[in-house]
Structure 1
Amino acid sequence: MTTETILILGGSFGGVSAAHYALRHIIPQLPKQDGKTYNVTLVNPSTDFYWRIAGPRVAASKTLMPYDKVFLPIEPHFAYAKDQFNFVQGTATSVDPVAQTVTVQTPSGERTVSYAALVIATGVSTPSPLFTQTTDRAALEAEFESFHKTLANAKSIVIGGAGPVGVETAGELGEFLNGKPGFFSSGPKKPKAKVTLISAEGKMLPILRESISKKAEKMLKALGVNVVYNTKVITATPSGEGGKTAVQLSNGETLDADIYIDATGARPNTSFLPSDWLDSRQKVAVNPKTLRVEAPGATRVYVVGDVGSHTRGGAIDLPNAIGTAMTNLRTDLIAHITQKAPGPDRHYEANLAESQIVPIGTSKGVGAFNGNALPSVMVWGMKGRDYMLGMLAQATLNGDNYKKEGKWKPQPLASSG
């Protein structure tokens, strides 16, 4: 008896979703072959799924957002398919397209995993280690512990980048350190820390309209956050004086910060892949309709999530991407098994509607969904209350969106990450 593998690299939103889809809608539909079975193998650096959406609140306080709420074990959610599912804790270090193998560095050493089909869902890494996971739970918790010790005595905080992660983090830290303003107050009476948010553009939150960005600025100001526009962070250098960082700005100013948080963007986790599989941004170059990798030597290789060239980032269009990539994987695998012409492709359509939900502190926020601006109370109800942990965390890990095939309606997930 031989077993062939649908190998999925990455255990965040895209990888976990792809694994559930493969177990429910691919393996059961593959033609039966004497002496051959198929399984799904998921590779991830941690045994826990990090709910990175909540990273900004964890950064403010583990009391407000305990670790046990944001680190969720992966394997128990695949118990329904235990005979067809394997989990490997490790990090992919190289791919051999000819042999169709991936080398994985695990805690116990290096191993090689063969694949009949490969799904790349390794996502992106943020410059600050607080908002994505490339290590195990213990290492990321240690990062938070170190950050919280510094935060306790911080008087000046500079955040570079005014996308959703930067704005949410500024709001969480501003409220945690400076408190909520009074009902008729435009700002905190006795702020403990000066929080400065640096925006490279003329407005924050690029996906959202300017009026929503202005509303966010007003909310941030009430929490003691000052926003600097049309300015870039040039360098952030430890000054050696009391642990401060000298943050040099493109406007010629230098800010001395007790804490500097780089939220300027994300870098795709693709260093292990063949260079000719990547585009100029180092994302995986995919056919934007089929989500296949079409580089030479890439046999039955697909991409889901932020690591691919097809998406502007975020989870808002992930269900359609999962359905597209995995349906085409199944079509190609069946054609390979039967040696017959493949069936028709399914095509991906990016969701480019104005959709982003951004909490600002624990009780307010701004956002839009499918082009409709949302009131602050709705942003709080949808996300700001607990960063969607109660609404979506278990459903995501259980793969609830993928219990049935079809086109899924977008869920309000577009936010940090």
Structure 2
Amino acid sequence: MVQRVVILGGSFGGLHVTHALLKKRNKDLKVILVSKNSHFFWNIASVRAIVPGQIKDEDILRPIAPALARYPSSSYEFLIGEATGADFASNTVTIALKDGITSTVPYDHLVLATGANYDSEVPTPWKASNSYDEILSLLHSTATAASQANHITVAGAGATGVEVAGELAYEWGNTKQIVLLSGSSTVLGNDIAGPAAANELKKLNVTIKYNARAVSSKKLDSGKTEVTLENGETITTDLYLPTTGMSPNTSYIPAEYLLGNKTVDVDEFLRVKNTTNVWAVGDVVSKPRAGFMITQKQAASAAKNIELALQSKQPVPAKGLPVDILACAVGRGRGAGRMGSIKLPSFGVWLAKGKTLGMPMAAGYIDGSVA
């Protein structure tokens, strides 16, 4: 009897698991990939794509359908849609398809890989939270706005905020005022790479405002944006780019399977607790934290455990990274980061990440070689 594995999410985790299972050429398995986006979005490079002329559309957004065409058509199905509900007791998920039709899809195993989005009143292109056309339009409009602005305010001094400010300042640090708002007294939280990142930003003429947490914003009649800080101070800027408030896309999952921060509660096997056949990877888990390399390791482990389950074998504990790595590009020439507790030189971070923002690796996700 053919067993059905439904994978929700066509980004790093979901596409990885899809390829890993399909490459086994198991005739008794059918993989159903559900993605809101028809294209795989290399969002790591979105911070550079808002600088005109730096990233080609076809490099940052690649179609998923051709990536699956090498497999027998009977072994997979690709649905463009969004999960709106899940019933783990009846082994079904509800999918709102692109054409407006709602479908109830049964599964033998389910993979939750729907990622996260930035919960902000201002649309940003840092995550694949919209359709292909919407993401492309947002990248283009943000790039146009950035090129026309004289004053740009980036809210949030986590990794994304640091990289956004760095990219903008590398291009325009001598001609535009780039302001980075940090809600604390550091950048990158309390990470040991924070001081190095702040130093690299200052070299690019970024103004860092510490203890300046943005709480709201409003568009003015002039076209500018007024940003209100927690202390009551306001900043008027030509372009406002928030990078805070990332939350997992788990609204379709019953609350009893979620933790207080809305992430999915999983066991050591990446199986959702109190289930036998539901697995979760990536930003919906955020354990030990959200991160591209962490998601890649989780996807490999989840795929392995699904293979074992299909053979009626016991799962094995998920394997994580041997050492936690943080790498922050700061523009197209510098970077800051660490490997475990060891600080990395700026040039090393640039070579490993900042030079290309991992763009050459996108091909491996499309052709399945990473899985």
Calculate the TM-score normalised by the size of structure 1: 0.82
* 1:156 alignment counterpart: 151
Q: 1:233 to 1:379 in 2, by over 3 A?
A: same
* 2:271 alignment counterpart: 292
* 1:18 alignment counterpart: 17
**1:235 equivalenced with 2:234 (yes/no):** no
The separation in 2 between residues aligned to 1:149 and 1:388, in whole angstroms, is: 24
Q: 371-380 vs 158-167, which deviates more?
A: 371-380
**1:394 equivalenced with 2:363 (yes/no):** yes
The separation in 2 between residues aligned to 1:226 and 1:129, in whole angstroms, is: 21
* 2:5 alignment counterpart: 6
Q: Deviations over 1:108-167 (max 9, x none)?
A: 222222111000000101244311112221111111222233223212211111111100
**Which runs of 5 or more structure 2 residues have no equivalent in the other structure?**
none
The separation in 1 between residues aligned to 2:128 and 2:237, in whole angstroms, is: 25
Secondary structure of the residue aligned to 1:306 is helix
* 1:81 alignment counterpart: 71
Secondary structure of the residue aligned to 1:14 is helix
**1:56 equivalenced with 2:47 (yes/no):** yes
Contact 2:5 2:107 in 1 (8 A): yes
- Shift in Å at residue 354 of structure 1? 4.2
Q: Deviations over 1:298-354 (max 9, x none)?
A: 44100011111533110222343223322322333333xxxxxxx343112544844
The one-letter amino acid paired with 1:346 is V
* 2:253 alignment counterpart: 273
Displaced runs of 4 or more, over 4 A: none
Secondary structure of the residue aligned to 2:222 is coil
* 1:201 alignment counterpart: 184
The separation in 2 between residues aligned to 1:150 and 1:356, in whole angstroms, is: 30
Contact 2:14 2:299 in 1 (8 A): no
Aligned alpha-carbon RMSD (Å): 2.1
The separation in 1 between residues aligned to 2:295 and 2:211, in whole angstroms, is: 31
Give the number of equivalent residue pairs: 366
Alignment of 1:244-393 (within 5 A): 244-287=224-267, 289-295=268-274, 298-308=275-285, 310-335=287-312, 343-351=313-321, 353-390=323-360, 392-393=361-362
Q: Deviations over 1:58-101 (max 9, x none)?
A: 1122x111211100111222233233122111111111223312
**1:70 equivalenced with 2:60 (yes/no):** yes
The separation in 1 between residues aligned to 2:127 and 2:252, in whole angstroms, is: 18
* 1:183 alignment counterpart: none
Q: 373-382 vs 64-73, which deviates more?
A: 373-382
**Same amino acid, percent of matched pairs:** 30
The one-letter amino acid paired with 1:254 is T
**Which runs of 5 or more structure 1 residues have no equivalent in the other structure?**
179-187, 336-342, 403-417
* 1:45 alignment counterpart: 36
The separation in 1 between residues aligned to 2:368 and 2:188, in whole angstroms, is: 29
Calculate the TM-score normalised by the size of structure 2: 0.92
Contact 2:124 2:241 in 1 (8 A): no
The separation in 2 between residues aligned to 1:162 and 1:14, in whole angstroms, is: 25
